Structure 1
């Protein structure tokens, strides 16, 4: 059985602004991670850091189609994540995040599904707040207690 986790959100900004917010770490750090080693570019591997949690993730960029798709592989275990961008109107973009190729079974798979669904939903919520209202909500930073060893 192939499991695909999906979260989604309408963001009331143009597709190029929303897409760029996920590619440009200087923007993304306002709603997701605290630091990045670089822009997302096809074929490149970057490192994302969440300083509060003392967590680091190596992110391999598999595919980029401007204003349409960002496809990465990351995590432990390694999984594929597709960020899909759809223009609804000139000032509305629908973003879907699909997490797939999850090499787990049983309770480990259930735990992963819960964590991934909640995590990517929080990212989309924070992105919406930042891009639509210019507010840094700290949703990702505040998701886990200070003593947490969050997995990214």
Structure 2
């Protein structure tokens, strides 16, 4: 049995704006990461840095379907897939799925933490794309190593 982390949220923006908000590091650094070595593009690898962690995270095996889906690997045991669906009111349904971990006690903790993390990603993206608000700013200072 494989574990999955999931999150879904509707964003009141057209699909092309939501897609660009995910693949474009100039947008994503406003609500999710602090640095990126480049745009998410099929076949390319990039490095992400988060403001609350000293580590850098390689993003590999990127696959892009414009205005439809983004998938990548940042944990060798999982694949992240973000799918976008245009809704009749010109908003976008965003679904995140990260899966591949084997069922065990340590990975149960992982699925809970990552589900919360993807919910945070979606809420931060919604706040930024709809209202220009940066929810992550200062939110995770407590996690920095002293």
TM-score by length of 2: 0.92
Residue 16 (structure 1) aligns with: 16
Measure how far apart 1:5 and its partner are.
1.8
1:67 aligns with 2:67: yes
Q: Distance in 1 between matches of 2:64 and 2:104?
A: 32
Residue 99 (structure 2) aligns with: 100
Q: Give 4+ residue runs of structure 1 displaced > 2 Å after superposition.
A: 146-149
RMSD, aligned CA: 1.8
Residue 121 (structure 1) aligns with: 119
Measure how far apart 1:138 and its partner are.
1.7
Q: Which runs of 5+ in 2 are unaligned?
A: none
Q: Distance in 2 between matches of 1:46 and 1:40?
A: 7
Q: What per-residue deviation string (whole Å, max 9, x for no partner) do you get for residues 43-98 of structure 1?
A: 111000013321211001431100000010112x5410000000013520000000
Q: What per-residue deviation string (whole Å, max 9, x for no partner) do you get for residues 108-137 of structure 1?
A: 111100111011100100000000001112
Residue 29 (structure 2) aligns with: 29
SS at match of 2:2: coil
Q: Which runs of 5+ in 1 are unaligned?
A: none
TM-score by length of 1: 0.88
Residue 142 (structure 1) aligns with: 139
Equivalenced residues, count: 146
Measure how far apart 1:143 and its partner are.
3.8
Contact kept? 2:52, 2:144, Cα under 8 Å: no
